[in-house]
């Protein structure tokens, strides 16, 4: 691989951009592929397949060719509302996954560096935090505080911005009350039903690490849902 191409790749990874490296392994020719940009002439006839691999977050050889596609995905931005005990386990599970974690909690006594070393912690109320935190439909929200004053504004933000994953901790009764509040706030039933509540897949566990595992498993499943 040529030096200037490697430098571009490292720069794009540092800026957390999404791209793919397309390589003809028989000739060594490589180029950087980005969505909605013109393909290199040597690979143009494979544009449909390359786009399909990229859209579906796949790596591998194009069938019956010497062309290899290596896709680099921007880390999924995951916003956790509440620096609670479950959050500590969530962070541990997420460390080896392609997630960029942010914790929002206005309660300063929960958000110490000792509890969450090397994690992006925003010690503000959600509405204030989201003023500086760029989010979009590729973002995920996990609400864990059980406190409507903290969770509800974050859920409203996630719904309005069409986060691909929204989950909220709490019992069925807690979730029904939550849904009622959101309906009264003007959200449609279809939007409210997009919230995973109670959060997580049904593993049967009840301890903090078990609940965290059920949440991270559901998040991963939704991340790669086709």
pLDDT band at 12 (very low <50, low <70, confident <90, very high): confident
Domain residue extents for the chain: 3-72, 76-223
Q: What are the Cα distances from residue 8, in Å, to 32, 35, 100?
A: 9, 16, 22
As a CATH number, domain 76-223 is: 3.40.50.720
Mean pLDDT of 188-192: 96
C-alpha atoms less than 13 angstroms from C-alpha of 66 in its C-beta half-sphere:
8
What's the average model confidence in pLDDT over 104-108? 91
More confident residue, 93 or 205: 93
Instruction: Give the rounded percent of residues in the chain with a pLDDT score beyond 90.
Output: 54
Residue matched to tokens 């949440």: 215
Alpha-carbon gap, residue 160 to 79, rounded angstroms: 15
Instruction: Tell me how far apart the alpha carbons of residues 181 and 7 are, in angstroms, rounded to a whole number.
Output: 51
| pLDDT tens per residue across span 34-77 | 887 777 787 888 888 888 888 877 888 998 889 999 888 778 89
What is the model's pTM? 0.78
217: left (phi over 0), alpha (psi -120 to 50) or beta: alpha
Mean pLDDT for the stretch of residues 114-133: 92
Long-range contacts of 207-211 (CB under 8 A, 24+ apart): 208/85, 208/86, 208/88, 208/89, 209/89, 211/86, 211/89, 211/169
Q: Which DSSP letter does residue 106 get?
A: S
pLDDT in tens, 194-219: 999 999 998 888 899 999 999 999 99
Q: What pLDDT is stored for residue 1 in this prediction? A: 63
- Interacting residues of 57 by C-beta distance below 8 A, sequence separation 6+: 71, 73, 224
């Amino acid at each position: 691989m040529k030096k200037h191409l490697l430098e571009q790749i490292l720069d794009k990874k540092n800026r957390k951009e999404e791209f793919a490296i397309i390589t003809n392994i028989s000739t060594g020719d490589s180029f950087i592929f980005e969505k909605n940009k013109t393909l290199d002439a040597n690979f143009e006839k494979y544009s449909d397949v390359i786009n399909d691999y990229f859209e579906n977050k796949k790596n591998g050889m194009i069938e019956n060719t010497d062309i290899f596609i290596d896709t680099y995905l921007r880390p999924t931005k995951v916003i956790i509302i509440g620096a609670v005990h479950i959050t500590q386990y969530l962070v541990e599970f997420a460390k080896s996954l392609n997630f960029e974690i942010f914790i929002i909690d206005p309660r300063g006594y929960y958000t110490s560096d000792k509890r969450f070393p090397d994690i992006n912690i925003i010690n503000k109320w959600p509405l204030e935090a989201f003023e500086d935190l760029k989010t979009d439909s590729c973002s995920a929200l996990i609400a864990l505080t059980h406190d409507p004053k903290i969770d509800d504004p974050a859920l409203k933000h996630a719904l309005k911005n069409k986060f691909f994953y929204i989950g909220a901790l709490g019992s069925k009764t807690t979730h029904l009350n939550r849904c009622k509040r959101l309906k009264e706030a003007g959200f449609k039933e279809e939007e409210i039903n997009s919230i995973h509540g109670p959060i997580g897949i049904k593993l049967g566990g009840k301890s903090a690490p078990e609940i965290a595992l059920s949440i991270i498993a559901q998040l991963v499943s939704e991340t790669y849902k086709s």
